[in-house]
Amino acid sequence: MINSLLLWRLIDKREIAIATCFDNRNYAELKPVIGLLAKYIPISIKLEENLKLFQVLTQLDREIDEVNQWQEYFVDAPNNPFLDFTFEFNSQPNKYHTNNLTFTIQNLSACIDSFQVKLACWHSHNSLTIQLHYNANLFKQVDIQRLGYEFETLLESVIDNPQTSIDQLNILSPQEQQLLIEFNQIKPLIPPYQCLHHWFEAQMKNTPNRVAVIYEHEQLTYQELNNKAGQIANYLLSLGVKPETIIALCVERSLDIVIGILGILKAGAAYLPLEPNLPIEALSFRLQDAQVSIILTQKHLQTKIESSVNATQNKIPIISLDNDLQSTLTSLHHHTPNSHNLAYVIYTSGSTGQPKGVAIEHRQILNYLSGVLAKLKLPEAASFATVSTFAADLGNTSIFGALCSGGCLHIIAESKTTDPIALADYFSVSKLFLLTYLLY
């Protein structure tokens, strides 16, 4: 019964079936027969949180009585699923006597059982020996030892609290319970800023001349990146963007990716990254479904973007990041979004149906960044690499992890991401933190 309770607590299934060993000697004629007649028969118990121990025992006794009547009719087929967990109980006299010889059985084992984990109980005189047998191909010894400790803890809890509902019985030792208490008392990390771009701007003030982003033979310092993003932000503000405005960003791998993202965020809006290689129909669907207000792109992609916009039957302004925006006004009022405002929208692949837009607020990505940067404890000015499309979530988290920690973000050209030798050479020459990239 205790083994059933333990499995129920560990796997959270209402009905537990355990193969239980029956001697199959119901008739007097079979008592002295030499040979193995025992077989394993599944005993099923339905468990609920509010049940008391005596209720479970009553249910178990009823089930055993029912099965006991039919054990000789049961065919014990090998490798049945219910034999994954088995229970065997043996009760033997303390001593055996024959003529002038007295002996005791010290150990009893069988190597023909089909099981993954078996709880074997050996009762003799005033002692009860319990053993856990297991399939070493599936389980490690440390896992079975932990299972044994949990069984022992549950058994003690049952003895000490027989009237307690079964969901309140302990399976964790006092030491493990204390670890949980200490873990839950850890103070949550509070992001230092309300918005993503505020974090970047603070980093820019600390390291204005440090290289922030590299693509092939081009690079920008934190100050230069901030200035270019500010020009984009001012232009968008002149068009009337505000918090919750969604602006599509459809550009190929280049510095424009980071400039566009930061420019949109600085304007207080949210961005929708779009992969330029998507078919026109897919681009059109995303533009319409997300209710995009403005599109930022590059000159050589403008024709495709215009076709995508035409398919939506909506008029969406298209802005080319290749244009010179130096003359843009710099005194426009900047909207100040809060942590609950949208930062970006990412679309799922649609491999299981229609693609769906996932809205990410500033607070969500800020919580992620706070946690992962605290965990990684990166060295000063670490190098990051982004090889994923920025139209997927991985491509965005790596961007902010670099720019909010004073790192240098390497945007890897597509020709290198598909060539393992070229990619390895780039990482070697640039001394990138591959582990950092993988964790992101």
Residue 335 confidence (pLDDT) above 70: no
CA separation for the pair 122, 364 (Å, rounded): 55
* Among 154, 147, 150, 152, residue whose Cα is nearest residue 133: 147
CA separation for the pair 258, 234 (Å, rounded): 16
Q: CA 140, 143, 147 angle in degrees (round to 5)?
A: 140
Determine what percent of the chain is predicted with pLDDT higher than 90. Answer: 35
Q: What is the pLDDT of residue 429?
A: 77
Q: How confident is the model at residue 327 (pLDDT cuts 50, 70, 90)?
A: very low
Cβ–Cβ under 8 Å, residues 284 and 316:
no
Instruction: State pLDDT tens for residues 155-196.
Output: 888 888 888 888 888 888 888 888 888 777 766 678 889 999
Q: What is the pLDDT of residue 438?
A: 38
Q: Which residue has the tokens 């009553």?
A: 58
Task: Tokens for 434, please give them.
Answer: 């591959």
Mean pLDDT confidence for 383-397: 84
Instruction: State pLDDT tens for residues 350-371.
Output: 877 889 999 999 999 999 888 8
CA separation for the pair 129, 399 (Å, rounded): 59
Go through the domains of the chain in sequence order and give each one's CATH number.
2-184 (3.30.559.30), 196-439 (3.40.50.12780)
Task: Tokens for 101, please give them.
Answer: 């010889």
- Between strands 211-215 and 408-411, the pairing is parallel
- Which of the residue ranges 76-85, 270-279, 280-289, 375-384 would you say has the lowest mean pLDDT? 76-85
Q: What is the pLDDT of residue 12?
A: 74
Task: Tokens for 419, please give them.
Answer: 């060539």
Residue 113 confidence (pLDDT) above 70: no
Most confident of 190-199, 247-256, 322-331, 379-388: 247-256
CA distances from 407 to 18, 257, 394, 411 (A): 56, 17, 17, 13
Mean pLDDT confidence for 95-105: 73
CA separation for the pair 393, 348 (Å, rounded): 9
Q: E strands, 47-149, where? A: 85-92, 96-98, 101-103, 117-124, 127-134
Sheet with 211-215, side-by-side order of all strands: 218-221, 211-215, 408-411, 383-386
> By CB neighbour count within 10 A (0-12 exposed, 13-18 middle, 19+ buried), where does 78 fall?
exposed
* Among 286, 278, 277, 307, residue whose Cα is nearest residue 354: 286
* Among 195, 216, 220, 193, residue whose Cα is nearest residue 208: 220
Residues in the chain: 440
CA separation for the pair 180, 431 (Å, rounded): 40
Q: CA 303, 305, 308 angle in degrees (round to 5)?
A: 115
Sheet with 117-124, side-by-side order of all strands: 39-46, 15-22, 85-92, 117-124, 127-134
Q: Which residues of 235-259 are buried (b: 16+ CB within 10 A; e: fewer)?
A: bbbeeebebebbbbbbbebbbbbbb
CA separation for the pair 71, 23 (Å, rounded): 9
> Which residue stretches of 17-140 are H helix?
53-68
* Among 176, 128, 168, 117, residue whose Cα is nearest residue 150: 176
| Coil, helix or strand at residue 7 | helix
